[in-house]
Amino acid sequence: MILPVYLYGHPILREEAQEVPLDYPSLTEWVSNMFATMYHAEGVGLAAPQVGLSLRLVVIDGDPLAETYPECKGFRRVMINPVILRSSREEVVLEEGCLSLPGIHEKVPRARQIEVEYTDEHGQGCREVVSDFAARIVQHECEHLNGIVFTDNIPAIRRQLTKGKLNNIAKGNSRCRYKTRCAGR
Ligand code: NI
C-alpha cells in the first residue's frame, strides 16, 4: 500500500523516533508499505517518521542511482534501530533531496564512509561499512530518526535562501506527484 509522505513542517519529522521493539506487530507490513511508497515517489530512502510512524526504521534502495554512483548498485536495505558507530573524518559535499522536502535540492557535507549497525528484516544483527553515496543515504535516513532534515545541515546563507520554499511546503503550497500529508491540512 502506498502511504502519504509527511511533509516538512509536520511535527512528527522533528521527533526523536522510538526504538522498534523486536516483536512489533505489523513490522513486515510497514516495511513493505514503506518500500512501495518510496518506489512510487522515486526516492532511494525513506524513514518511518516520513510515513507517520515515529519508529527507528528505514528502508533504502540505491539501485536507481547505480549508473552515477556504482556503490549504490544492489544497495537495498531494511535497517531496524540503526546506529552509526563511526564516521570518517573525510567529508564529501554533494547535492541531495528528500521526499518530505519536495523541490528542494541542496549541497550537503557528509562523511564519506561510515560503519552502521542495525537489525535487518529477518531479525539478523548486521554491521557494515558503507561508502560514498550509499553512506550519504544511510546518514540522511538516520538523521530523520533524530528529528533532523537535510536542510538543517546546509550553510546558514543557503538555509536562508530556502526558507521561503520550506514555508510554502509547511503551508501545503507545494505540488507533488505522490500523496502527501502536511501539518496545515
Ligand atoms: Ni529525507
Calculate how far, in angstroms, residue 21's C-alpha sits from the geometric centre of ligand 1.
Answer: 23
Q: Quick count: other Cβ atoms within 10 Å of Cβ 62?
A: 22
pLDDT for 185 = 56
Give the whole-angstrom CA distance, residue 104 versus residue 87. Answer: 26
Calculate how far, in angstroms, residue 117's C-alpha sits from the geometric centre of ligand 1.
Answer: 20
Calculate how far, in angstroms, residue 42's C-alpha sits from the geometric centre of ligand 1.
Answer: 12
pLDDT for 184 = 65
Calculate how far, in angstroms, residue 149's C-alpha sits from the geometric centre of ligand 1.
Answer: 6
Instruction: Express as a percent the part of the chain with pLDDT over 90.
Output: 96
Whether residue 147 has pLDDT greater than 60: yes
Band of residue 183 on the pLDDT scale cut at 50, 70, 90: confident
Angle at 109 between CA 107 and CA 111, to 5 degrees: 145
What is the average pLDDT across 166-174? 93
Q: Is 41 helix (H, G, I), strand (E, B) or coil?
A: coil
pLDDT for 175 = 87
Instruction: Express as a percent the part of the chain with pLDDT over 70.
Output: 99
Catalytic residue IDs: 141
All structural domains of the chain with their residue ranges: 5-181
Whether residue 6 has pLDDT greater than 90: yes
Q: Which fold has domain 5-181?
A: Peptide Deformylase (3.90.45)
User: Are the C-beta atoms of 38 and 59 separated by less than 8 Å?
Assistant: yes
Calculate how far, in angstroms, residue 106's C-alpha sits from the geometric centre of ligand 1.
Answer: 12
What is the average pLDDT across 64-74? 97
Calculate how far, in angstroms, residue 122's C-alpha sits from the geometric centre of ligand 1.
Answer: 24
Of 121, 158, 113, which Cα lies nearest the Cα of 139? 113
What is the average pLDDT across 88-117? 97
Inter-CA distances, 109 with 50, 96, 152, 156, Å: 22, 10, 11, 13
E strand or H helix at 162: helix 156-171
**In whole numbers, what is the pLDDT of the chain averaged over residues?**
96
